[in-house]
Structure 1
């Protein structure tokens, strides 16, 4: 989920959006590299929001999409280069603290009130998601123990680190261990790859390499010389599919895909009261 704050600069300006220059392109390297993770679960969560709210707001999840990616050419010693989406999980989620969506939220995400009214609550979504992971042999359905090396992937750290932690508090459910294991911030990987590509280029007195700032999904696609964004921006499943394209391209370019985001299930915001209560006097 990504939205613009009223009390802060827009996301593009705040995060330093820049049009990728020719010097920011990552040179393709088609040969394989060792990749320790077998499966990647790409997600882009959409949550409730209103004009002027920021990431300290008690967002409730309203769309939970996942693109499951596996290697096409993985060898016995974990060398590979080609990732593909083999299945998808998607559900809308019914918010419980403020069940009525704001006009701003509907216009941003395209999610309607009828869609969330008919959707399951978050605890039921976790049950369905667990079944999806078990069906693909990632966890044991009874014990929830991991059966494969898998990693969650998102554009920025917010989806699992913030949205899922908040929602577990609001819904008063324990955050499943299988969603805490390993999380990869794709945007951070792209940024570091661009910086690495720049340092390999000869510099001249007249040219100075610009600082690589975080890029949104569309800009990452452009920097990687991929076709533009496919679908509707801020639609969770479309965002997830485009992030999956970026992950596949990073793998093709021999970038090792490793977790880089810490998750704290016990993290607390000022508005968190007891037993899932939201203290509205502490909302920004």
Structure 2
């Protein structure tokens, strides 16, 4: 999943799970995408629109965050991941994102701003895909680029989605970079390739729904003087 004014999800499912529980083939079986109408800083900046392609009209007509959670819950029920009504997980799954921030931090913050409790099906562990790719890359003796030179100087900060595709010898980024759904689809390709290479895919960061930031005031109020 990826983005702030946009909430996209690709569901990946194992297709070759053995009786011992081992598998390395993943495929996308469904997608969820919606824009989100902001209640704080509701006017998009020119920079945001230029970066993501999201327009003011798209977010103005979008559902508010609490409704997005309801719609996402119905999507998870449809895919057999959680039980309708009880919201209990029916399958073992985790959220994957490029870096920990989208699900670990942004959803926690938005639940505070919207004054809604984080659903139990959101809580749990997250797979930070960028960290997994960086760890895998550091274990490789030498990976040639198109110019025949090894990848040097790549850090967590510079290993964006395009760079991850590159080091895994996957086709270039498809779609518009920083578009939530396009980022998510490309992240799904990265996770699928990691699985194909027998990289162990385990959650590596946790969600803390009770975490508070200095800017959190009372009743969803944002104390802007504490924002950095």
Same fold (TM over 0.5): yes
Alignment of 1:238-277 (within 5 A): 238-277=182-221
Q: Taking CA–CA contacts closer than 8 Å with sequence separation of 6 or more, which of the two structures ends up with the larger relative contact order?
A: 1
Partner in structure 2 of residue 180 of structure 1: 123
Residue 177 of structure 1: SS of its match in structure 2?
Answer: coil
Which of 44, 53, 56 is the matching residue for 1:110? Answer: 53
Kindly state the Cα deviation for residue 211 of structure 1 after the two structures are TM-superposed: 6.1
Is 1:229 equivalent to 2:209 in the alignment? no
Q: Deviations over 1:46-75 (max 9, x none)?
A: 22xxxxxxxxxxxxxx10000001112222
Kindly state the Cα deviation for residue 90 of structure 1 after the two structures are TM-superposed: 0.3
Instruction: Return 5+ residue gaps in structure 2 as ranges.
Output: 143-149
Partner in structure 2 of residue 87 of structure 1: 30
Q: CA–CA distance in 1 between the matches of 2:141 and 2:121?
A: 37
Does the C-alpha gap of structure 1 residues 272 and 76 become closer, same or farther in structure 2, counting only changes over 3 Å? same
Contact 2:96 2:126 in 1 (8 A): yes
Q: CA–CA distance in 2 between the matches of 1:227 and 1:234?
A: 17
**TM-score normalized with structure 2 length:** 0.92
Partner in structure 1 of residue 155 of structure 2: 213
Contact 1:70 1:84 in 2 (8 A): yes
Is 1:72 equivalent to 2:12 in the alignment? no
Q: Deviations over 1:129-188 (max 9, x none)?
A: 011111111111111111101110000000111110110000000111111122100000
Q: How many residues align?
A: 219
Alignment of 1:108-147 (within 5 A): 108-147=51-90
Q: CA–CA distance in 2 between the matches of 1:92 and 1:211?
A: 36
Partner in structure 1 of residue 222 of structure 2: 278
Contact 2:124 2:206 in 1 (8 A): no
Q: CA–CA distance in 1 between the matches of 2:140 and 2:28?
A: 27
Residue 69 of structure 1: SS of its match in structure 2?
Answer: strand
**TM-score normalized with structure 1 length:** 0.74
Q: CA–CA distance in 2 between the matches of 1:151 and 1:233?
A: 24
Q: CA–CA distance in 1 between the matches of 2:47 and 2:37?
A: 17
Residue 80 of structure 1: SS of its match in structure 2?
Answer: coil
